[in-house]
Chains A and B, each alone.
Chain A
Amino acid sequence: MSVIFTPFLFQSAMQAITPILLASLAGVLCGRVGVFNLALEGQMLVGAFAAIVGSYFTHSALGGVAAAMAGAVAFSLVLAYGATVFRGDPVVIGIGMNLLASGLTAYLLRGTFGVSGAFSDPGIVGLGRIAIPPLIGVPVLGWAFGRQSALTWVAWALTALVSVVLFKTPVGLRLRGVGEEPDAAETLGVDIARYRVVTVLVAGALTGLAGAQLSLGAVSVFAEDMSAGRGWIAVVAVMLGRNNPLYVAAACVLFGFADALSINLQSQGLPNQLTDISPYLATLAALVISHRRRTRAPRPPAEVAAASASPAPVATGGSTLDADRGSRFRAD
């Protein structure tokens, strides 16, 4: 066991968690106002690309992060207006945005830097790691947080912040109202459309941070489709955590360790084609276990048929919407 649970494992797990956690928080915010966000993957990718562009042209990591947030927010306008004012299906919009992000970043990569595949350059300033010497030696916590980029700290601070805002402030109450009881919120004078648009854009900024961590965090490079399914894992984390930032963070920790474990197994000689799939297997297993527990409550047989098409009607709050949205997509 001591071969597996090394300081390096905790460090690489924490590093893997950061982008997924930031994207998941964005998903939580969107889910809370009733906008199912499937576009996390694409938003992260746009953020990752914008981060490289920003860092390359301003020669500062901060410029890269700012560009990532700006780029991802601009890209999020599609979801913010498409799924609210234009009332498009968020599932279709999410899929469309993911493909648009994949195509657009690949196109702009060739247009801006004249390369395809991947781009790295000494001119790109990465985020760098903040080493905290007294912390590094501390088992577990120190291993995890001793040497991380600033965005890791930001991600965990934001987890706390989003929790507090959602559950302890009037704004949070209105946000949740917009998602859970839009009619009641509207009666109370809350401008639903505005809340949704602004929230989706704020969430977009978080996905920008996630993207910046991807491209500027460990190594300063942008590769086509470098989000590589992390956005989808974030979508699952949001589902598993039922839109609660703390539960969602717990799910992200699980996936982060699965990811770090795969790197660990790889260094012990297993081919990476096999080890790479471990985060996805962990995700699938977590989904099955969590949904099984939720749907175990006995139901009259007539309803079982209906429930198979739209599972988890027993779930509470915002996650009902997510599960409904996730499983069924209106064909007309």
Chain B
Amino acid sequence: MNGRARWTATSPRLRPPPVLLAILFSTLVGGALVLVSGHNPLRAYAEIVEGSLSLDSLPDTLNWATPLVGMTLVAAIPLRGGMLNLGGDGQLVIGGLIGALLPLVLPGPGALVSIAALAAAAFGAGLYATLAAWGEARHGVPMLISSLLLSYPAVGVTSYLARFPFRDGATGLPQTAMVPTEARLHALSGALSAGSLLIAAIAVAAVFVDRRTVAGYELRMRGKNPRFAGYGGVRLERQAIGTMFASGAIAGLVGAIVVLGSQFRFIDGALLTPAYTWSGLMAALLVRGEPAGAILAGLFFAALQTGGFAMQRETSVPRVLTLVLQAIVILFLAMRQGVGRRSP
């Protein structure tokens, strides 16, 4: 065991970056999978690149990246402190539902209404996320499990609310009524909407907090060694609750942005089917929560998934292949990082 650790630790500069190796490995395995299912892997990959990075498709990629990068931050922020928030789905739908319902009842000028809806969505989802942190601090229930389990009731209850009490009578579909036009988030130009700018601003803020503030430093310290952080004066319970609030609030914001910026109503299931939460989690795991890297990884996965649509359209290779590719990248990295880790 020790021999292996020493062997990999000798010449760090000669090693190729593990992330690139992981991407290469997953491309090969995914290619083999495509080949076995009777398609041409090179054509499939060409369609992914063409369908995500060409000038025509870049707006689509950015559009897809808005919620995905948001959910990447949702996972990355707690991960930076060694915590995992697996409840992004629940926080996302809570934010989405609040964002869809408030504009229906709030009077006032449109811009103010949408700002109030976004703020309320962030606050509500943030509060819900702190439940898991509070459960760990007060009752010792592991957050990894409780955050995930709390997601199911949130999804169930919001689904019920959208299907029964707040169902749109006009269409009869499981969705809420349309948000008034004035309260919607405007498209600035092409794919750029106010929502994309908001997520970009949050991303910049996350990097800034991580690198330049005391809170960011304390969170990183916790990620490296929570006991040391505790002895150094970090109030761990308060920090966990604050971190989860920030994480959940961003998830709620993402939900409200999707609702107010592109769907204009809460459609049951529509926020969950793209699986932003899990892609975001994988992007964050890819770089172990470092915010700038996580944002890049989120953009990369957004491009991969957007290209997946083109691939499915052009070559009939199912686009769920992109999920397989992402998972293989994570598994490969998890094992490689393990190899380099010194034994305790």
Question: With A87-B338, A311-B136, A326-B142 in contact, is A99–B326 under 8 Å at CB?
Answer: yes
Set of chain B residues within 8 Å of A142, measured between Cβ atoms: none
- Check B222 for interface membership: any CB of A closer than 8 A: yes
Q: Whose C-beta in chain B lies nearest to the C-beta of A103?
A: B323
Question: With A107-B318, A323-B142 in contact, is A306–B230 under 8 Å at CB?
Answer: yes
Set of chain A residues within 8 Å of B139, measured between Cβ atoms: 288, 291-292, 295
Q: Whose C-beta in chain B lies nearest to the C-beta of A111?
A: B37
Q: List 6 A-B contacts (CB under 8 A).
A: A86-B336, A103-B324, A106-B318, A273-B157, A273-B163, A329-B144
- Check A172 for interface membership: any CB of B closer than 8 A: no
A-B contact count (CB 8 A): 190
Most chain B beta-carbon contacts within 10 A, residue among A91, A273, A312: A273
- Check B330 for interface membership: any CB of A closer than 8 A: yes
- Check B203 for interface membership: any CB of A closer than 8 A: no
What is the interface residue range for chain B against chain A?
35 or more
Question: With A232-B149, A309-B236 in contact, is A295–B338 under 8 Å at CB?
Answer: no
- Check B140 for interface membership: any CB of A closer than 8 A: yes
Q: Which one of B143, B226, B338 contacts A306 once the chains associate, using CB atoms below 8 Å?
A: B226
Cβ contact within 8 Å between B84 and A332: no
Q: Whose C-beta in chain A lies nearest to the C-beta of B4?
A: A87
Classify the secondary structure of B's interface with A: helix
Given contacts A95-B86, A309-B240, A329-B84, 5 further A-B contacts (CB under 8 A): A87-B339, A89-B337, A271-B164, A280-B152, A287-B141
B-side interface residues toward A, CB under 8 Å?
Answer: 1, 33, 36-38, 79-84, 86, 135-137, 139-146, 148-150, 152-153, 156-157, 159-160, 163-164, 222-224, 226-227, 230, 235-237, 240, 278, 281-282, 285, 288-289, 318, 320-324, 326-328, 330-331, 333-339, 341, 343
- Check A88 for interface membership: any CB of B closer than 8 A: yes
Cβ contact within 8 Å between B152 and A236: no
Number of A residues contacting the other chain (C-beta, 8 Å)?
59
Set of chain B residues within 8 Å of A95, measured between Cβ atoms: 86, 281-282, 285, 330
Question: With A93-B334, A309-B227, A332-B223 in contact, is A110–B160 under 8 Å at CB?
Answer: no
Set of chain A residues within 8 Å of B141, measured between Cβ atoms: 284, 287-288, 291, 311
CB distance from A289 to the nearest CB of B (A): 9
Cβ contact within 8 Å between B337 and A331: no
CA distance A78 to B224 in the complex (A): 26
Set of chain B residues within 8 Å of A239, measured between Cβ atoms: 142, 145
Question: With A311-B136, A328-B82, A329-B82 in contact, is A89–B338 under 8 Å at CB?
Answer: yes
Which 3 A-B residue pairings sit nearest by Cβ, starting from the closest? A103-B323, A311-B140, A331-B223
CA distance A81 to B282 in the complex (A): 21
CB distance from A186 to the nearest CB of B (A): 10
Cβ contact within 8 Å between A277 and B145: no
